Chain A
Amino acid sequence: MSSDHHDVKKSVRSYFMVGAALFVFTVITVAVNQVHLAIPAAITVALIIATLKGSMVASVFMHLSNEKRWIYGALVLTVLGFLILMTVPSFTNMDNIGTPIHHEPAPHAASH
Chain B
Amino acid sequence: MEIPYTVETRPDTGLANGKLGIWLFLASEVMLFGALFSTYIILRNGAVEWPHGELNVWLGMANTFILIGSSVTMVMAWASLKLHDWAKHRLYLILTFVLAGVFLVNKYFEYASHFAKGEGPAHSTFLAIYFTLTGLHGLHIIGGMIVMAYFIGPGAKLWKKSPDQFANRIEYTGLYWHFVDLVWIFLFPVLYLL
Contact = CB atoms under 8 A, between A and B. Distances in A.
Which secondary structure dominates chain A's binding surface?
A: helix
Interface in B21-72: 23-24, 27, 30-31, 34-35, 37-38, 41-42, 45-46, 57, 61, 64-65, 68-69, 71-72
Most buried by A among B30, B167, B174: B30
Contact of B31 (A1, A54, A71, A81): A81
B65 A23 contact: yes
Contacts of B61: 26, 30
A3 B171 CA distance: 11
Interface in A39-95: 39, 42-43, 46-47, 49-50, 53-54, 57-58, 61-62, 68-71, 74-75, 77-78, 81-82, 85-86, 88-89, 92-93
Interface stretch (B75-83, B102-110, B116-124, B146-154): B75-83
Given A57-B185, A62-B178, A74 B37 contact: no
A89 B27 contact: no
Interface residues of A, number: 46
A8 B74 CA distance: 14
Nearest to B179: A62
B182 interface: yes
Contact of B194 (A43, A75, A89): A43
9 smallest CB-CB distances across A and B, nearest first, come from A19-B72, A46-B189, A89-B41, A78-B27, A85-B34, A8-B82, A33-B193, A61-B178, A22-B68
Interface of A: 1, 3, 5, 8-9, 11-12, 15-16, 18-19, 22-23, 26, 29-30, 33, 39, 42-43, 46-47, 49-50, 53-54, 57-58, 61-62, 68-71, 74-75, 77-78, 81-82, 85-86, 88-89, 92-93
